[in-house]
Amino acid sequence: MIVAAIFGPLGSALAQTGPQPRLPTVQLTAGMHLIHAEVAQTPAQQATGMMFRTSMGANEGMLFVNDNAGVRCFWMRNTLIPLAIAFIADDGRIVNIAEMQPQSDDSHCSTEPVRFALEMPKGWFAKRGIAPGTKLRGSPFRP
């Protein structure tokens, strides 16, 4: 299991005392639903993620982008708001979704190797009927 994508650069994440500045965004769609996702690409951006943020917009999220596919695992230490995470294949297909509780060290992992993970407000996917197998569209994903 590849855990280094999130757990590896912990030194910078543990030293973090406030939210990271907003990251550049990309527009994604899930059917008729529009998503504005900040893009976390560097190890430091990914390690910090949504930590210390107290809110996020209804259609805002954070897309984690990695160079290579691997089993990706996330936790919620120092994350103050509940989130849902979708693990996404290169073609935009959602592999699996997990609901995550704030300030928890519980690990939530992809069920197969992926390059992408999308964090949204808790319940976002379920409320819209978006489930594993649904394809997201946007520039990061191959047709």
Q: Is the pLDDT of residue 9 over 50?
A: no
46 neighbors 78 (Cβ within 8 angstroms): no
Res 16: pLDDT: 63
C-alpha–C-alpha distance, residues 61 and 97, integer Å: 14
pLDDT value at 8 more than 70:
no
Q: Quick check: 111 pLDDT over 80? A: yes
Instruction: State what percent of residues in the chain have pLDDT above 70.
Output: 89
Residue 15: what pLDDT? 55
Q: What is residue 135's DSSP assignment?
A: B
Question: Would the pLDDT of 6 be above 60?
Answer: no
pLDDT digits (tens, 9 = 90+) for 66-91: 999 999 999 999 999 999 999 999 99
How are beta strands 60-70 and 114-121 bridged, if at all? antiparallel
**Residue matched to tokens 């209804």:** 58
Which pair of tokens denotes residue 109?
């992992």
What are 16-61's pLDDT values in tens digits? Answer: 678 899 999 999 999 999 999 999 999 999 999 999 999 999 999 9
At 102, list the tokens. Answer: 């704030």
Question: Which domains does the chain carry?
Answer: 4-8+18-126 (2.60.120.1140)
What tokens were used for 67? 């160079």
Quote the pLDDT of residue 143: 75
- Alpha-carbon distance of 87 to 132, in angstroms, equals 9
Instruction: Using DSSP, state whether 127 is helix, strand or coil.
Output: helix
